[in-house]
Amino acid sequence: MNKKFDISLEKQEQIDRGKRIKYIRENELKLNKSDLAKKIGISSQFLGLVEEGKGNLMYRSIRLLRDLSGHSADYIIFGLDDSVLDKAKQYMEYFSEDELRNGINILNDLVYLLKNKKN
């Protein structure tokens, strides 16, 4: 059974992504449209369309925005909390590869137990 593609969901994600990019530009980078557009290799008019939810950035521009802002591409594109990744990276520095593998196995077991507890 194929899931029907929901165009309204994609449009809402595009609008949300535009709002995130505008927020990053205005509140974190403190740049006007023209300055950010130059830094990520697009026109200020196109950046305006992206921020309004009427356009999408290409890979190169997302990568440049990621490098400028310090946010992950997952945050820029999907709104995923990138602070979780930063915390995980900090914790991972304290453990060996074997200890991390054991931790992942324990986490897998915990997920299994929690899923089966619901049933």
Report how many domains make up the chain. 2
Q: Which residue range(s) make up the domain with 35?
A: 7-80
pTM comes to 0.69
The answer to whether residues 98 and 60 belong to one domain is no
Whether residue 103 sits in one domain with residue 68: no
Residue pLDDT, tens place only, 19-65: 999 999 999 999 999 999 999 999 999 999 999 999 999 999 999 99
Please check whether residue 1 lies inside any domain of the structure: no
My answer on whether 18 and 43 are in the same domain is yes
CATH code: domain of residue 36: 1.10.260.40
Q: How buried is 63 (Cβ within 10 angstroms: 0-12 exposed, 13-18 middle, 19+ buried)? A: middle
> What is residue 2's predicted lDDT score, i.e. its pLDDT?
47
Q: Quick one: 98 and 55 in the same domain? A: no
How many Cβ atoms from other residues are within 10 Å of residue 100's Cβ? 13
Phi-psi category of residue 70: left, alpha or beta, with phi > 0 → left and psi -120 to 50 → alpha: left
**DSSP state for residue 95 in the 8-state scheme:** S
pLDDT, mean of residues 62-78:
95
